[in-house]
Amino acid sequence: MQGSEETTGQSPDELRAQQERDLAVSYALATMEFALAHEAFHVGTTMREVGIGFDPLTFVALRILEAGADESVDPTELLSTLSDSGTLERSVELATELLEDEAA
How would you write the pLDDT of the chain (104 residues) with one tens digit per residue?
A: 455 555 667 888 888 888 888 888 888 888 989 999 999 999 999 999 999 999 999 999 999 899 888 888 888 898 999 899 999 999 999 999 999 999 88
Kindly list the distances between the CA atom of residue 32 and the CA atoms of 6, 14, 41, 43, 52, in Å, as whole numbers in the listed order. Answer: 36, 27, 14, 16, 26
pLDDT at 50: 96
Alpha-carbon distances, residue 4 vs 18, 23, 24, 31, 60 (angstroms): 12, 18, 21, 30, 40
Contacts of 15 (CB under 8 A, 6+ apart): 4, 5, 8
Q: Is the pTM of this model over 0.95?
A: no
Per-residue confidence (pLDDT) for residue 1, from 0 to 100: 46
| H-only helix segments in 9-74 | 12-49, 56-70
